[in-house]
Structure 1
Amino acid sequence: MKNMSVFIVFVFLILGVAETVFADVLIIANKDVPDTTLSSDDVKKIFLGKNVQWSNNAHIIIVISKNEDIHKDFLKRYVKRTASQYKAYWRNMLFTGNGIEPRSFDSEEKLMEYVANTPGVVSYIDSGTVPVNVNTITVK
């Protein structure tokens, strides 16, 4: 019985540590984006192309990171899909004429530069990266 209790405690500790292994992400947007707070559901709808306008009626442009860890964590946390499911979703949107696959960037610096210089853009970065010339969006 004692061994079973130790095992259960060990499993819960491992599960708690495993959750912190994932990268935290910040949602960022161009400075002209008026929305500074979004719900998790809003973030999901935006990155699935279901919400296409900001509160000021400006067009939303989605940009994604090619950093596998950040991308996977973002998708798991907000979009509730795997990377392959997300890619397949956007390919289907493209082929059915319902959307354009989001542009992606290899580096966070290039991604942030694009976000800073392109009106209406939203993306995400590692929370350890200092956002430069972009707004951060709080997710509730």
Structure 2
Amino acid sequence: MATLVLLTGLSLSGTPARAQEDAVLLVANPDVTTRRLTRDTTRAIFAMRQRTWPDGQAVRVFVLDNNHPVHARFAKEQLSVYPHQLQLAWDRMVFSGTGQAPNRVRDQEEMRNRVANTPGALGYLEREYLDDSVQVISMD
């Protein structure tokens, strides 16, 4: 007799299902032609070291406040850095005059609206905030 074993809480990829549902996703303005970014490129864009999309269009980066839990999760889970490390990189560029910090937004609704209405924009949202006004960018 065969035994059926159910692995509750796991997706087909082996990632906990809850983690997939709670994932913070990379989102872009619909006019962005790039559909996939590597983790390194994404990290460079959010550290404000890379200022253009692979096709040459200017990137406009939007982030939540450093102490917002979604910002912390995005930085740690998707970029593999701590929020304070990003802030140090931004401060260094601003104070040295070599760059600027990303655009800050209050909440995920403002994030979605600003990304949707800003050409070349990139940000992040929890799945529940997604709609047709933004596109999800896959990360390798």
TMscore range, shorter length:
0.7 to 0.9
Indicate the SS of the match to 1:59.
Answer: coil
* Aligned residue identity for 2:55: N
Task: Return the letter of the residue paired with 1:24.
Answer: A
Could you tell me whether the CA contact under 8 Å between 1:48 and 1:79 is conserved in 2? no
Shift of 1:139: 0.8
Instruction: State how 1:115-134 maps to structure 2 within 5 Å.
Output: 115-134=115-134
- The whole-number CA distance in structure 2 between the counterparts of 1:30 and 1:55 is 15
Q: 1: CA distance between counterparts of 2:68 and 2:132?
A: 22
SS in structure 1 at match of 2:125: strand
Equivalent-residue separation in structure 2 for 1:95 and 1:83 (angstroms): 18
1:139 aligns with 2:135: no
Alignment of 1:1-140 (within 5 A): 20=19, 23-66=22-65, 68-140=68-140
User: Which amino acid letter does the alignment assign opposite residue 69 of structure 2?
Assistant: D
Task: Name the CA distance, whole Å, in 2 between partners of 1:42 and 1:126.
Answer: 21
Q: Secondary structure of 1:93's partner?
A: helix
TM-score (norm 1): 0.78
- Map Cα deviations across residues 46-89 of structure 1 (whole Å, 9 max, x no partner): 11122211122111111002372211111112333222222122
Give the 3-state SS of the residue equivalent to 1:109 in structure 2. Answer: helix
Number of aligned residues: 124
Which 4+ runs in 1 deviate beyond 6 A? Answer: none
Name the Cα RMSD after superposition: 2.4
- The alignment-based identity, stated in percent, is 26
Extract unaligned runs of 5+ from structure 2: 1-14
Larger radius of gyration: 1
Kindly indicate whether the alpha-carbon contact (under 8 Å) linking 2:112 and 2:129 is maintained by their aligned counterparts in 1: no
- Deviation for aligned residue 1:37: 0.8
**Aligned-residue offset at 1:129:** 2.3
3-state secondary structure, aligned to 1:27: strand
Flag structure 1 segments of 5+ consecutive residues without an equivalent: 1-15
Q: TM-score scaled by structure 2?
A: 0.78
Question: Residue 71 of structure 1: SS of its match in structure 2?
Answer: helix
Partner of 2:26, secondary structure, is: strand
Query: Tell me, what secondary structure is at the counterpart of 2:55?
Result: coil
